[in-house]
Structure 1
Amino acid sequence: MQNKWLVPVGVLALVIGVYLASTLGQGGSLEGNNSSSLQSQTKFLHWYPEPRKLADFEITQHNQMPMNNQTLAGKWTLAFVGYTFCPDICPVTLAEINKVYPDLKQVAAESPLQVWFLSVDPKRDTLERLNEYVSYFNPEFIASTGEHAQLFPLVRSMGMMYSIAGATDDPNYLVDHSASIVVINPNGHVIGRFKPVHKPGQLATSDMQQLLHDLPLLLTSS
């Protein structure tokens, strides 16, 4: 006699799969049902088709504390790739972010926000230099760096790029890098970026008014 409580294996697997999908999609990470709704509300954030998991990384912060994927958990993160010897885009972008940071923090009272400057020039950007550099803009900002073996897959998983221009024997070598501001959700996944705005005769950097319009929508969704 067949037990009436037995459930076919295929049906049970389907039920479990649906449950896990719905559970993992919750938590204000923009990986649930509210993602498409928010995408229609934002005007300037360039969303990725799907949230991107960052490559596993182990690097060091400017305060000599270790930094890894878990450092990003539970917070919204604005990430910017660059280097301290950058002559223009990096200092301008960090200064502009600092101008709007108080407004963003006020909105993010219940959804912690951090600003992350990732240096891709470990040869010159010592932790001491990074500490001095990022503290100049805002002591609450995070700066970090590591070996290229860690940095390259990490930056690539953000949807960004960088390359050393010329020989590093030249003390004034430049580093080509993406200028977008990347948005990372509290699950540590990249959801999109604010691209630089190109205007004739002006430096191509992200527009802070665009960021101020869209980011609060994400912060208050958590």
Structure 2
Amino acid sequence: MFSGEDLEECPLSFRWRWTADSGPLGLLRTRVLVTLLFGGGLLAMWWFVDLEKQQRLRQQHMEQLQKVALGQGNFSLLDHRGQRRTKQDFLGSWLLLYFGFTHCPDICPDELDRLSAVVSTLDQDTSLPPIQPLFITVDPERDDASALARYVQDFHPRLIGLTGALDEVKEVERDYRVYASPGPKDEDGDYIVDHTILIYLISPDGLFLDYYNRMNNQEQITQSIRNHIKAYVRL
């Protein structure tokens, strides 16, 4: 065992190690250091494994979406300015899509107001890309480009209205599994169209990602879209 005289004769570096690393305090420091290193290693390993798992799940999800027979086709319609627009024109942008008609008394305006509010809220977050809102009519016989131009003015300034020939619109409805059936006409020739009431979220790859019904409020839709954007992995 070292005496005080022996310690005095030892090199300075050895004396420091003997006084700092021996005894209860030195042992405690060593244990704490080992614990921190071991715990940090485990945490880093867990984070890496979790990241790999999340990326793998997202990739699997995207592959599954590609197999879903929803919104897989192309479309060619006229916008509210009379210009021909196809699905290819919107690739690279996030889309919020709603099917309705301009003579709808209350539901369609309410849904488009909600859609517009969601887009406006997301616009305030500069870290997110802009969302493109789309409105496709299910009543092309009455909703021509000029009718849509008047109608979309009441909603988000980026809202694009789309119409076309009856067969062109029906093709898009089938592609997104939208139900639309005109009701009987009244004495003035007016009628209501019974149709699917959903807002569709479309990724920049043109894939259907999610839908929102009337049970989803504005905050829920906004947060869902934000989560989809943050988790998005381009194919």
Per-residue CA distance 1:161-191 (angstroms, 9 max, x = gap): 1111125995311111111101111111212
Shift of 1:100: 2.8
**Among 195, 209, 212, the residue aligned to 2:222:** 212
Q: 1:1-222 residue pairs with structure 2 within 5 A?
A: 33-34=57-58, 50=68, 52-107=70-125, 109-167=127-185, 171-197=189-215, 206-222=216-232
Shift of 1:101: 2.1
Alpha-carbon contact 2:133-2:160 (below 8 Å) kept: yes
Indicate how the Cα distance of structure 1 residues 53 and 124 shifts in structure 2: closer, same or farther if over 3 A, else same. closer
Alpha-carbon contact 1:51-1:189 (below 8 Å) kept: no
The number of residue pairs the alignment matches comes to 176
Which protein has greater RCO, CA pairs closer than 8 Å, 6+ apart?
1
Quote the Cα distance in structure 2 between the aligned partners of 1:53 and 1:37.
Answer: 16
Using the size of structure 1 for normalisation, the TM-score is 0.70
1:112 aligned partner, one-letter code? P
Indicate how the Cα distance of structure 1 residues 48 and 128 shifts in structure 2: closer, same or farther if over 3 A, else same. same
Residue aligned with 1:211, SS = helix
Per-residue CA distance 1:149-172 (angstroms, 9 max, x = gap): 111221222132111112599531
Residue aligned with 1:54, SS = coil
Alpha-carbon contact 1:107-1:216 (below 8 Å) kept: no
Alpha-carbon contact 1:51-1:191 (below 8 Å) kept: no
Q: Quick check: which has more Rg, 1 or 2?
A: 2
Per-residue CA distance 1:76-95 (angstroms, 9 max, x = gap): 11100000000111001111
Q: Which runs of 5+ in 1 are unaligned?
A: 1-30, 39-46, 198-205
Richer in strand (by share):
1
Richer in helix (by share):
2
Shift of 1:99: 2.2
